[in-house]
Each structure stands twice: as C-alpha cells, then as structure tokens.
Structure 1
Amino acid sequence: MSKRAFTPTFKLEVLKACEDGFYTLSEIMKKYKVSKSAIKDWKYKLDTYGASGLQESSTCKRYTKELKLSAVRDCVSGQYSINEAVKKYEVSSTSVLRKWIKKYNSHSEFKDTAKGRSNTMTKRKKTNWEERIHIARHCLKNGKDYQQSANTYEVSYQQVYQWVKKYESGGDEALKDKRGKKKEEAQLTPEEKMELQMKKLERENERLRAENLFLKKLEEVERRRR
C-alpha cells in the first residue's frame, strides 16, 4: 500500500468509524484505503497527545546525539522497553529508535540531527516528588486534560501524561524518581534479580495488552459479523 498524506480530520473520521463498531476492521481498511498499522498508530497518538498528535510535522524532528545515546542505553540495559523509551524521550516512532539501536550495535557514531533539542523537549523541567503527585491529581480532577495541566504548571504534555499513567498504576510511590537504582540492583541476590525480572516482564505484557486492546476490539466485531 503506497504512502499517502492524511489530514487530521480524515484520521479522526477513521478512528470514529472504528469506535462506532458499524464496520469491521477489514471493511474500514478497504473503505478508507488505510493499513492496520496506520490505524493503530493514529489511535496511539490520539490517546497520548490528543488531537494535535494527528497532525503531520512539516519538518523532521530534531534529536541530539546525547538524547539518542540515552534512549538506546535505556533499552539495551533492560531498564526500559522500546515503547517506554519512545515515550520517555518523545521519539517520533519505535522504528526510529530501532534504527538507533541497530546503529549503536554496529558501533557507529551518533551525530546531532540539529543544534539542541526539539521544542517539545525544551518544555520539560525538573520536578520533585510532591509536585508530580500534585500535577497528576490535578489532571485527573480535570478529566485528564493533559494539555491544560501542562500549560498550568509549565511542563510538557508528555510529562503530565507519564505521571498520570504512573499514578493510576502505582499511586504516589510510582512517581518517585528511581534513577540511580542500577547500582543497588547489582547487589541483589540471584533470587531477587529473578523476581525483579519477572516483574519487568509482567509490566511489559500488561503494556502490550493495553496497546493491542483497541485492535482486538475491532477484530472481535469482525468475527461476530462473519
């Protein structure tokens, strides 16, 4: 299927058709001439960034070599999955990060794609534990209006989104800054390391289930109509 340029309005129309359930996934793909992966990507961007996430950038996103290395090292160390790193560093897609990992494994040198970070990254600022809790609770009280909370507390949309998700899954403790724990993990017993690894796998499985829930719902509708 050839690549086409889609407007935000068109993407919203496709996603609404999926949510309505009047058509099967195959019928929607045929009617709108879009791929399953495109629908999944649009759904993720809508849920994560709001309607603005459906807009195509007129320029390539810019990353520093430091950001690329940090994202890759988080993945290869096992501290973050690819999806987690994409969200943490606001990389445009998992395919971009996979290319960086491949380049890293081939011992190629990273270079800046531009001077400094992108605009979305410069909006990020340091916060303490209490501030993250307060912002997450504020966002939840206001119907998960991530953009409004980001503007109110002068942080990025993505920061608010991450804090709310962590707060929902683990409460106040989940918003603690866990950087610097790698040294402590090295001192764990084999049994404790195994337990930690199992917990990581459980979180990854839960994340994958959440990401696929939208398309599974469509596939179930399609099976019922056969």
Structure 2
Amino acid sequence: MSNKYKFNSSKFKYEVLKAYKNENYTLIELCSKYGIADVTLYDWAEKHEKYGLKGLEGSRTLKSYSKDLKQVAVEDYISGEHSQREVIRKYEISSTSVLRKWIKQYNGHRELKDTTKGRTSSMTKGRKTTWKERIEIVQDALANGKDYQ
C-alpha cells in the first residue's frame, strides 16, 4: 500500500498519534519512521483533539468557501498578525495549500470568487472544428468582448 492511501486511513493516523502521545518516539523518529512531515502530525493531532476520530477521516467532498471569507482570510494573513496555520484554524479552511492558492490569486490581482459545490468545466464536448474556424471564433470573441472559452 502506498503512503498516499495509508495516510488517508483514520486507523493509521490514530496509531501514529497514539505512538506520539505515549512518547514511544521523539517527533523526529516518529516522522522518519512513518515518512510524514511534522506539520502533518500536528494537523492530525489538532483535528483529532477538535473532532475525535471523525476528524481523522479523509474528506470525500470539496468544501465551499464564500468570496468574503476568502478575502478576509487572505487579508488576515497578509496583515502579518497571523500565520497561515492560525488563519486556517480561525476560518476552518481545509489546508494551508488552499489558503496559499487564494493568496497567490490575490497577489496576482485576480478576483477571489465563491467556491461552488462540484466543479464545472468551461470545455464542452462539441463538434470538431477546423483550425480556420477556431481562429475565426477567437477573433469574433475578442472583437466583441466575449469569453472565447
């Protein structure tokens, strides 16, 4: 079993946390033995403390966030008063990687939008088009201020 699947097991996470809490290993030894980062272990411990065994289960759904929450969370972090981990705890954001993505969008002067349940794709299955038709479509879209996707 690869680590990716093992890490998703709440049983595995609980066993690692038990070993950590029983002080059978130092933090470095434990992380080395199981091939995990210390922040991962801290994250598991925090979720277990807050939600019990349910907190160790992997999420099967995408969490949605409002535009306002994203904006406030990013501004809290950028203010320098809070670390990324503090911000994700405060606003119950699923991970620091989600927050970092928002920060990157914000710093790139792109609009933060509401997250919708499920993903939508701008690509739809359609008929085959020739190279010439594609160029005409893009030129028409650009000339008329339309989104050519």
- What TM-score does the superposition give when structure 2 sets the normalisation length? 0.63
Within a 5 Å distance, the mapping from 1:1-226 to structure 2 comes to 4-5=4-5, 6-114=8-116
TM-superposed CA distance for 1:112, in Å, is 1.7
Instruction: Tell me how far apart the structure 2 counterparts of residues 17 and 44 of structure 1 sit (CA, whole Å).
Output: 15
Q: 1:59 to 1:22 in 2, by over 3 A?
A: same
Q: 1:4 to 1:70 in 2, by over 3 A?
A: same
The count of corresponding residues between Structure 1 and Structure 2 is 114
Give the gaps of 5 or more residues in structure 2. Answer: 118-149
Instruction: Tell me how far apart the structure 1 counterparts of residues 39 and 3 of structure 2 sit (CA, whole Å).
Output: 12
TM-superposed CA distance for 1:31, in Å, is 4.2
Instruction: Tell me how far apart the structure 2 counterparts of residues 105 and 19 of structure 1 sit (CA, whole Å).
Output: 40
Instruction: Tell me how far apart the structure 1 counterparts of residues 4 and 19 of structure 2 sit (CA, whole Å).
Output: 19
**Structure (1 or 2) with the greater helix fraction:** 1
Q: 1:17 to 1:112 in 2, by over 3 A?
A: same
What SS does the aligned partner of 2:49 have? helix
Please say which of residues 106-115 and 80-89 is displaced more in the overlay.
Answer: 80-89
User: Greater CA radius of gyration, 1 or 2?
Assistant: 2
Give the gaps of 5 or more residues in structure 1. Answer: 116-226
Instruction: Tell me how far apart the structure 2 counterparts of residues 81 and 15 of structure 1 sit (CA, whole Å).
Output: 24
TM-superposed CA distance for 1:47, in Å, is 2.3
What SS does the aligned partner of 1:111 have? coil
Deviations 1:65-104 (A, max 9, x none): 1211121122223454433321221101122112211211
- What TM-score does the superposition give when structure 1 sets the normalisation length? 0.44
- What is the identity, as a one-letter code, of the residue corresponding to 1:4? K
Instruction: Tell me how far apart the structure 1 counterparts of residues 69 and 44 of structure 2 sit (CA, whole Å).
Output: 25
What SS does the aligned partner of 1:53 have? helix
Relative contact order (C-alpha < 8 Å, sep 6+): which is higher?
Answer: 1
Instruction: Tell me how far apart the structure 2 counterparts of residues 83 and 110 of structure 1 sit (CA, whole Å).
Output: 20
Q: 1:36 to 1:79 in 2, by over 3 A?
A: closer
